[in-house]
Amino acid sequence: MPEEFSLAWLLVLLPWAGAVLLAFLKGEVLAARVNCGVSAAGFLLALVVIGEPFAVQGWTRLDALNLPLLLVAALIGLTTAIYSLGAVETEAFDTLRLRAYHAAFQTFMGAQALALLADNMGVMWVAIEIATLASVLMVGVHGTPPAIEAAWKFFILCGVGIALALLGTIILHLAAQPVTGGADGLSWAALRAVAARCDPGVLNLAFVFILVGYGTKAGLVPLHAWLPDAEAEGPIAISAVLSGLLLNAALHAVLRVKAILGANPDVVPPENLLLALGLASVLVAAFALWRRRDARRFFAWSSILHMGLAACGFGFGGAVGNLAGLLHMLGHSLAKSAAFFGIGAAIRLRGSQRLADLGGLCASQPALGWALLVAVLAVAGLPPFALFASEFLLLAEAASHHAWAVLPLGLGLLVAVAAKITVGQALCLGEARPDLAGPAPGWTVLGPIWLHLALALLLGAALPGPVRALLGEAAGVAG
């Protein structure tokens, strides 16, 4: 048990308590409202945590690297719960599935918060495993054959992934064991402090397993196969949190281990491996985007692209590269979940998730159409949103220190941006398709979208001073 109880634990325990409660609630609207309430409380708690001093307390730590990710995660948890409040009726859950869905959602929220907060690498691993199990349940909740296939693939691939991550964690301990004698052998702070005296070969081996393991969860090519399937199935709210939160938690875990290796001068630079996987993700995803016919799969591939870009940022390393990667993770979470909210509302209106059936939203549903168009442009990385700022930083860093990377990176970005603008145009401005009967999307859709876009704008166009300082410090933590 942790020696001290920190406020941060409440961020984990509150959603889990909510999950227990929601597992017993039968009313559809009541459960969705309680879900919102728990998420709102979690968000307020995250705001309170800002005031906490940066420190290690028992198994948890709070520092500049996980604080911004936690805040964005809590916000997206809240907006997704609000979106889900409006969408839950159309999912046509029976009572059991309704309870499973809400309980799994809050379990996931708590587990990803723990994965971000954990100082102990073992606890981090358990948290990511719990988050995986909860999201498998949410992906397969409808029980249709495609949903079961997606959930099965997710389960098996990520099962192998997290198993390898555990092996990496064990090897990390093995590396530190001769130095620490086993005490605190899994604490990130302790590992980082002794990394310089650890055997570099063992550290290399640990990083390879961690990268392959958590990289599977982060959706990096060639370990990405589960992601498009998983995001195409299950309630759309799940796609928003999978893209926005789970991928970030996994990449954050890789970053922590990269920082440990960064403290030892004799290791093979972990940046090289990250950069290789990142560039592969960018290139594969950029071309794959052109061949998608399913809207949710399209945005899932875009998540692979953006995770690749963030990995490139961390692969360049240094203050600028890490800053670009972090800003990219935050901007991607905000923009992508906004796009998923819009796409979810459109899918509900048209009764299909094929891109061809979703065209012409601006004509039939102007409020939704324009919001979605702006969200797609934000995802595409056009100015003035956060992804533009981070991609600009990324290219600038590549041009100044890694000139060879400019060509593949620029090519991938160009191809991807063109694909997204094409799809955005077809979705929103093309010829209108007939809508099914049903109410127009209300505030539960439009509110979250515009809120996310406003924040992405703030991050991109006018990065406030304290946020800039925080991200700068975080870039230092990431090594």
Partner 1 sequence: MTFGQLPYDVAHLLGGGMLLLSFMLLYQRRVGAVVNALATQGALLAAAAAWQGFVQDAPQLYLTALIALGAKAVLIPLALRLLIRRLALARGVDTALGIGPSLLAGVALVALSILVALPITTGVAAMAREDLAIALSVVLLGMLMMITRRNAILQVVGLMSLENGLVLAAVGVAGMPLVVELSTAALVMLVLVVAGVFVFQIRGRFDSVDIALLHPHRGEGG
Q: Give residues in contact with partner 1 (CB under 8 A).
A: 120, 122-123, 125-126, 129, 132-133, 143, 145-146, 148-149, 151-152, 155-156, 159-160, 162-164, 166-167, 169-171, 173-175, 177-178, 181-186, 199, 201-202, 204-205, 229, 232, 292-294, 297
Q: Are residues 257 and 187 in contact, defined by beta-carbon separation less than 8 angstroms?
A: no
Q: Which DSSP letter does residue 224 get?
A: -
Name the minimum Å distance from CB 99 to partner 1.
16
Distances (CA, A) of 40 to 11, 36, 82, 101, 233: 11, 6, 9, 18, 26
Name the minimum Å distance from CB 290 to partner 1.
13
Residue with Cβ nearer partner 1 (139 or 393): 139
Residue with Cβ nearer partner 1 (146 or 438): 146
Name the minimum Å distance from CB 339 to partner 1.
19
Name the minimum Å distance from CB 201 to partner 1.
3
> What's the CA gap between 118 and 97, in Å, rounded?
31
Name the minimum Å distance from CB 232 to partner 1.
5
Name the minimum Å distance from CB 180 to partner 1.
8
Q: Which of 116, 231, 228, 214 is nearest to 160 (CA)?
A: 214
Residue with Cβ nearer partner 1 (148 or 193): 148
Q: Which of 344, 309, 293 is nearest to 79 (CA)?
A: 344
Name the minimum Å distance from CB 40 to partner 1.
30
Residue with Cβ nearer partner 1 (51 or 145): 145
Contacts of 425 (CB under 8 A, 6+ apart): none
Contacts of 463 (CB under 8 A, 6+ apart): 389, 471
Residue with Cβ nearer partner 1 (143 or 442): 143
> What's the CA gap between 455 and 471, in Å, rounded?
15
> What's the CA gap between 317 and 326, in Å, rounded?
11
- With H, G, I as helix, E, B as strand and everything else as coil, classify residue 446: helix
Name the minimum Å distance from CB 159 to partner 1.
6
Q: Please give the span between the terminal C-alpha atoms of the chain, in angstroms, as a whole number.
A: 29
Residue with Cβ nearer partner 1 (79 or 216): 216
Residue with Cβ nearer partner 1 (28 or 199): 199
> What's the CA gap between 326 and 348, in Å, rounded?
33
Residue with Cβ nearer partner 1 (186 or 382): 186
**CB neighbourhood size of 384 (10 A):** 14
Contacts of 81 (CB under 8 A, 6+ apart): 32, 35, 36, 38, 39, 40, 105, 237
